[in-house]
Amino acid sequence: MAHGDGSGTRVPLNCRMGKADFLMRPLAKIKEIAPMTRLNHTNLAVSDVPELTRFFVEVFGFRVVEQRGAGKFSVMLGEDGFALILMHDKNVTKTTYPALFHIGFLQDSVKAVEELHARIVSAGFETPAPELINRGGPKTFGFYCKAPGGVLVEVSAPAE
């Protein structure tokens, strides 16, 4: 994620093979390379489309806009218009995704993280309690949970 106001703030440009390999350039230079685009959708190949759909609807408030193939395909929209598409793949297992692959949901506050945690638990899904996360940069408060089918989900907010 880029940080700064274009006044020369330096941001990481890429990571390779799970190791931070930061190429540092001023933010103003990045804007010269390519205009900012909006992420439209993500399509995940999963083993259990109905249960993962239930997870994203009940916990994160996604709205199902299309389903096909008797539990094999689901299109959901988030409140910002982002589309999350789930497609069944018989070759996907709980260990298919690489260990660090995850979907992150950034919240505005510690309270919002705690509320989402409670929603996950009340929907019948297991998740560890939120905690302070220190990854070497600004500290965050949150948790990682395994959603149905082994998809790792992060919920976090800036630590207060």
What is residue 56's predicted lDDT score, i.e. its pLDDT?
Answer: 97
119: left (phi over 0), alpha (psi -120 to 50) or beta: alpha
CB 97 within 8 A of CB 42: no
Side-chain half-sphere CA neighbours of 127 within 13 A:
30
Kindly list the domain boundaries of the chain, sorted by start residue.
41-158
Q: What is the mean pLDDT of each successive set of 10 residues along the chain, which is 160 residues long?
A: 40 37 44 65 93 96 95 94 94 82 92 95 94 88 92 92
* Structure-block tokens of residue 74: 């689901």
pTM above 0.75, yes or no: no
Class of 41-158 in CATH: alpha beta
pLDDT digits (tens, 9 = 90+) for 46-78: 999 999 999 999 999 999 999 999 999 999 999
